[in-house]
Amino acid sequence: MSSRKKVAIIGSGPSTLMLAATLDETIFDVVIYERNYAPGRKFLVAGDGGFNLTHSEPTDNLISRYTPADFLHSAISYFTNLDLRTWLSQIGIETFIGSSKRVFPVEGIKPIDVLNAILEVLRKKNVSIKTSHFWKGFNADNSLLFEFKNSQIAVKADYTIFALGGASWRKTGSDGEWAGLFLAKGINVLPFQPSNCALEVVWPESLKTKIEGKWIKNISVSYSNYNSIGEIVCTGFGLEGSPIYALSQLVRQEIIEKKECCLFLDFKPFSNIIQLQEILQQNQKSITECLKNKIKLGITEIELLKGFLSKEEFIDPKSLAYKIKNFPLTVTNSGPINEAISTVGGIDLNEVDGYFEFKKLKKHFAIGEMLDWEAPTGGYLLQGCFSMGYFLGSRLNSIEQ
Ligand SMILES: Cc1cc2nc3c(=O)[nH]c(=O)nc-3n(C[C@H](O)[C@H](O)[C@H](O)COP(=O)(O)OP(=O)(O)OC[C@H]3O[C@@H](n4cnc5c(N)ncnc54)[C@H](O)[C@@H]3O)c2cc1C
């Protein structure tokens, strides 16, 4: 056992957990270093809302959701969404596919149960987890420098894997502050930007109070050729919800360049303009009553129409029907990075090879959200992290076997 290779993994998110669970304990002596008092804080936060462990779509479709295209092709082909579900099932975490095709743990299994089941795998493999160990950089001999209870510790390992996460939800420990440590080593790090975030809309003040906190179901949101159907929520800042998060990646560049961009909302994605126009034309009562009772629009959608349309547009069946299907909304900014579900930016992908090894720092690797890739919410982020961990673990096993 004493001849086992030493592996130091920094960070204790899903990428690390899967990597450590995959590494062969007869070959590797694995130690995880985490700055927090406990492992997997962001993983638990991810579980607070809908806990999408992966997405169930066919592998080729799944892979196409990642940007840049093909970056995760090898890792996800090697450890697919089906592989992940099978693996979880083997450790007692059964999953199901929801109506959105996202994959969740079955009822009764909480995020902490999923984390504990994975930690139990690590415990059986004698993986050591050193919490309250804050990685501060490299010593002159390239050993790792940690701060632990006001003392400095140097760690030398045969293999070092960084899995430090992105730069949102700083309170989880994933704050991106590590960027400067790599830049000092001559490794390029791209600025972090919010991904899967809210979008800002400057609401007319009189409208804001009426719509703040209100959800709109079965709405289609589109930008350019892309559209997404789901639920959105109007907030004081603007809009949130899965369709908005999905679009937040696409509109980012236009917002940076033009300081705004235009989205189109379709309040009745399953009706066509002619049908709506006919209902409005036949209406004998008030337009609001007709929108509510015949067209079945919610109060929030009606408030939005009233808040943005001119009186002439609102009373004209043709223009009102058109605007129900093509409601333009100007977005003026992305939401704050700290509140984003994920970030893009981080380690430049040109700095790592196909196995995530730093080209300038052999036997040092980076996996997970700290690399410059992105994907929509809905399980893709966790799948990407788990696949990278499994792929690299298998690679290291095969190198040292
Ligand atoms: C609100 C929310 C909901 C989400 N929901 C989902 C979802 O449903 N489905 C999905 O697929 N994804 C979801 N995500 C995204 C997902 O949680 C992340 O993409 C994923 O956790 C990233 O994993 P990681 O292994 O790269 O790093 P992280 O999980 O971010 O872990 C990195 C770890 O590194 C540690 N660390 C950082 N710097 C240092 C240092 N200097 N020294 C020591 N340790 C350090 C941090 O403390 C942290 O524990 C959600 C995220 C948020 C914020």
Interval between CA 217 and ligand 1 midpoint (Å): 29
Q: What is the position in ligand 1's atom list of the atom closest to the CA of 169?
A: 53
Mean pLDDT of 8-30: 98
Least confident among 242-256, 261-275, 385-399: 242-256
**Tokens 């701060």 — which residue?**
147
Q: Does residue 2 surpass a pLDDT of 80?
A: no
Predicted pLDDT at 48: 81
Residues 148-201 have pLDDT tens digits of 999 999 999 999 999 999 999 999 999 999 999 999 999 999 999 999 999 999
The model's pLDDT over 25-59, given as tens digits with 9 standing for 90+, comes to 999 999 999 999 999 999 999 988 789 999 999 99
Question: In 13-163, where does DSSP find H-type helix?
Answer: 14-22, 41-46, 59-64, 73-78, 81-90, 111-124
Find the 242 Cα to ligand 1 centroid distance in Å. 19
**Does 52 sit in the ligand 1 pocket, CB within 6 Å?**
yes
Provide, rounded to the nearest whole percent, the portion of the chain with pLDDT above 70: 100
pLDDT at 69: 85
Atom of ligand 1 nearest to the CA of 11: 34
What domains can be seen in the chain, in order of their start residue? 5-193+345-400 (3.50.50.60), 199-334 (no CATH)
pLDDT at 239 over 80: yes
Ligand 1 in reach of 386 Cβ (< 6 A): no
What is the rounded distance in angstroms from the CA atom of residue 332 to the CA atom of residue 372?
A: 24
* Predicted local distance difference test score (pLDDT) of residue 285: 86
Using one digit for the tens of pLDDT, what is the confidence trace for 310-336?
A: 999 999 999 999 999 999 999 999 999
pTM: 0.95
Q: What is the pLDDT of residue 50?
A: 83
SS3 171: helix
Tokens 């040092």, residue located: 364
Is the pLDDT at 1 greater than 70? The verdict is: no
C-beta 135 within 6 A of ligand 1: yes
Q: How far is the CA of 161 from the centre of ligand 1 (A)?
A: 15
- Band of the pLDDT at 233, cuts 50, 70, 90? very high
Mean of the pLDDT values across residues 238-265?
95
CA distance 11 to 31: 11
pLDDT at 113 over 80: yes
Q: Is 118 in the pocket of ligand 1 (CB under 6 A)?
A: no
Can you state the percent helix, strand and coil of the chain, rounding each to 5? 40, 25, 35
